[in-house]
Amino acid sequence: YFIKIPPILGVQYWGYISDIGYDREGILTKTTGTYSFENGYHKVHYCELDEHGTATDNTLLFSNEKMELSKSGSVAAHFLFMSLENTYTEYLTAFGKFVFEIESENYHLEITEGQITINLIYKLFNNNQLFSKYELSICICGEPPFTLNK
């Protein structure tokens, strides 16, 4: 299928992170970005600011089967999410490099007239120890109406 969305759109993350030994913490990120559809993949590029105002450039590349998230800036990493699959990433920060195993419990892509929604549940492991668990919804929307051609 082909989806036509204006090039500037809204990107919103919401969900929870559960660090081991701590309570659930809410996540909410709202930003704008650009969208394209190339070689069978949806591509969204956006900039995210952390609590200190430091920028990270992010690129989401996704299809029905998988989602990739590349981050560069104050942190750098490349994540690959596929339902019921385990993958690995190196997460580079100012504090050093961390290697995480990603256990994707659920990845679901839904495209409707007006928006793209990604639901994702995954766990991060470091040295075979559970590090954190994430439950995220990512909503990508722009100026309606979108056109969806199959």
| Coil, strand or helix at 8 | strand
Under-50 pLDDT residues of the chain: 1-8, 14, 144-150
Tell me what pLDDT residue 71 has. 93
Tell me what pLDDT residue 60 has. 92
Burial profile 35-47: b = 16 or more Cβ within 10 angstroms, e = fewer: beeeeeebbbebe
- Please answer whether residues 29 and 48 qualify as being in contact, where contact means their C-beta atoms are separated by less than 8 angstroms: yes
List, for residues 27-63, the tens digit of each pLDDT value. 667 777 888 888 889 888 888 877 778 888 999 999 9
Tell me what pLDDT residue 79 has. 95
> In 3D, which of 78, 89, 123 has the Cα closest to residue 104?
123
Tell me what pLDDT residue 89 has. 95
- Please answer whether residues 17 and 27 qualify as being in contact, where contact means their C-beta atoms are separated by less than 8 angstroms: yes
